[in-house]
Chain A
Amino acid sequence: MTNVVEVKNLTHYYGSKLVFENLNFNIKEGSIFGLLGKNGTGKTTTINILNGFLKPTSGKCLMFDEDSYALTPATKSRVGFLIEGHVQYSFMSIRQIEKFYSAFYPKWKKEPYYELMSKLAVTENQKISKMSCGQRSQVALGLILAQDADLLILDDYSMGLDAGYRRLFLDYLIEYAKAETKTIFITSHIIQDLENFLDECVILDYKSVLLHAPLKSFLDDFKQFKFEVDNHNLKLEKDYVVKNFELVKNKATLYTFEKKSVIEHYLNNNGINFTKLSEVPMTLEEAFIGITGKY
């Protein structure tokens, strides 16, 4: 399977502040790839570099084998881009914006756009600036679906959307992704919505990559163990076993990729008195918080 996007040794600084260093990942054709991370970890920066709106300090981004800062119009026409906040030309009406974009894209299909608009209870002459955030998100989604792009880049599609609009957004994306050659690159701050959606993900931490794995293997392999301890000041540093550790009074939570027997052995070896050790299943959001930490 070919790579639609290749990110190679990407490093970026804002002034003297390091955003990330040696970021590497590929996005395979036909996959749904999530770039996850807390605010300020460089998700939008990565997307800006990928779309050629930012020159990286070092490293390279390729999109359809073209350097991202020199994308040809032909390649740009294959990429649908959703800007954070569903930004669109708000001075246009629903009909005007469809007419405008259709002139640029040879594969333009207006049906998915008008199908989405028909759900909004607005007229075709409705100005986008007069629409709610949720409605504007559907306009932006309808436009990139009508573009029939091979790659969708969605920068925080969930921003400002209530649960209904988020679900509607994802339902349409799932339909879009059913075509084998369509690829989606998505970021979101609402991790839970992506649990049954992503094929693969990268989780960014400040300045580095915490995880790069297929989502299923992350959810299968990453574990949460809860136990009780006598020492209310117990601290466990991150290492090859402990990926994160939290303690509230005598209730301890340890996040790891290891099995229960390894954890028991690890705690005993470190002289920790513990009771009631048990593995607790996690949702994607809990796993995300587990690996990135609450702060």
Chain B
Amino acid sequence: MLKAVVFKEWLKIRWVFIGMLLINFLVIINTYFNVSNVLKVYSANVYLVKLITYEILFFDDLMYIPLLTGILISVFQFFPEINQKRLKLTFHLPVQESKMLFQMTSIGFISLLLIFLFDTFLLSLVSLNFFPDEVFKSMIITLLPWFFTGFCGYFLITMVFIEPNWTKRVVVTLIGIGLISLFYSGSGYAKFEQSWWMFMAISSLFGVIIYVSAYNFKRGIS
């Protein structure tokens, strides 16, 4: 049964997955060429001092891409379920509804994880190619909240699709936007070194809210 669920979800998200993978790739390639071009003008030491002094992130083109990726994966995965209330078909399948939802969201989550691991891998190559190891470590810590926005955006939009009550949709969306904006607060490298786990906790919370909305959908609560 899991194989069938994976098959169905993949049919829905395959093009957006490939598309976003390509966009993420192009953004990072662009980052590579930007850094490469700058280093033709400045020496690596001068550029590094400039980056640290002015808190310039050499990979900041990627900042909102994970959030966009999460939102789009959710739209492509759950809009077809809500359109004409197809989720009724899904919840009528002989599987516990919570288990089905867990499997569906896990597929979206894993898709995002794969894209973000791909980003991390490529950016690591860029960083290690041009900068010392310390920059690589702080880059990873800086990237983490951005990746968490991707997961939050995914869970939030999924909740908006599934939740039948408009008031709850609006309230949770506003809270969600507020929380996601926290992820972008601050500037410079590794600002959230001590608090990245908080972002992970917030992302997990978004994941749990989906089950409340699914319960509301299943019971026709509006």
B4 to chain A: which residues have CB within 8 Å? 99-101, 103-104
A259 to B80, alpha carbons, bound, how many Å? 55
A160 within 8 A of B: no
B220 and A100 within 8 A (CB): no
A74 to chain B: which residues have CB within 8 Å? 94
B120 to chain A, nearest CB (A): 31
**Majority-rule SS of B interface residues:** helix
B219 and A104 within 8 A (CB): no
A51 and B88 within 8 A (CB): yes
A54 to chain B: which residues have CB within 8 Å? 219-220
B40 within 8 A of A: no
A141 to B81, alpha carbons, bound, how many Å? 20
Q: Which residue of B lies closest to A93 (CB)?
A: B11
Chain A positions 153 through 197: 1 when the CB is less than 8 Å from some CB of chain B, otherwise 0: 000000000000000000000000000000000000000000000
B132 to chain A, nearest CB (A): 48
A91 to B86, alpha carbons, bound, how many Å? 11
A103 to chain B, nearest CB (A): 4
B169 to chain A: which residues have CB within 8 Å? none
A256 to chain B, nearest CB (A): 39
Chain B positions 1 through 18: 1 when the CB is less than 8 Å from some CB of chain A, otherwise 0: 101100110011000000
Of A79, A83, A99, A105, which contacts B7 at CB under 8 A? A99
Q: Which residue of B lies closest to A52 (CB)?
A: B218
B80 and A91 within 8 A (CB): yes
A53 and B220 within 8 A (CB): yes
A168 to B52, alpha carbons, bound, how many Å? 74
A282 within 8 A of B: no
A15 to B157, alpha carbons, bound, how many Å? 27
A85 and B84 within 8 A (CB): yes
B131 within 8 A of A: no
B89 within 8 A of A: yes
A53 to B3, alpha carbons, bound, how many Å? 26
A130 to chain B, nearest CB (A): 15
Within 8 A of B (CB), among A90-147: 90-92, 96, 99-101, 103-105
B95 and A104 within 8 A (CB): yes
Q: With A87-B86, A99-B7 in contact, do A69 and B12 touch (Cβ < 8 Å)?
A: no
Of A53, A55, A101, which contacts B91 at CB under 8 A? A53
A81 to B94, alpha carbons, bound, how many Å? 12
A22 to B1, alpha carbons, bound, how many Å? 39
A89 and B221 within 8 A (CB): no
B80 and A89 within 8 A (CB): yes
B85 within 8 A of A: yes
How many residues belonging to B are interface residues under a CB distance threshold of 8 Å?
Answer: 23
A73 within 8 A of B: yes
B84 and A87 within 8 A (CB): yes
Of A55, A87, A99, which contacts B85 at CB under 8 A? A87
Of A51, A69, A99, which contacts B92 at CB under 8 A? A51
A26 within 8 A of B: no
B96 within 8 A of A: yes
Q: Which residue of A lies closest to B217 (CB)?
A: A53
B92 and A100 within 8 A (CB): no
Within 8 A of A (CB), among B77-131: 80, 84-86, 88-89, 91-96
A103 and B3 within 8 A (CB): yes
A3 within 8 A of B: no
A92 and B8 within 8 A (CB): yes
B86 and A73 within 8 A (CB): no
Chain A residues within CB distance 8 Å of chain B: 48, 51-55, 69, 73-74, 76-77, 79, 81, 83, 85, 87-92, 96, 99-101, 103-105
Instruction: Pick 22 A–B contacts, CB within 8 A, sort by A.
Output: A48-B220, A51-B92, A52-B219, A53-B91, A55-B219, A76-B92, A81-B88, A81-B89, A83-B85, A83-B88, A83-B89, A87-B85, A87-B86, A90-B80, A92-B11, A96-B11, A99-B4, A99-B7, A103-B1, A103-B3, A104-B93, A104-B95
List the 8 shortest-distance A-B pairs measured between CB atoms, nearest first: A54-B220, A103-B4, A77-B94, A73-B94, A76-B94, A87-B84, A55-B219, A81-B92
Chain B residues within CB distance 8 Å of chain A: 1, 3-4, 7-8, 11-12, 80, 84-86, 88-89, 91-96, 218-221
Known pairs A73-B95, A88-B89, A92-B8. 4 more at Cβ < 8 A? A54-B219, A73-B96, A79-B92, A91-B80
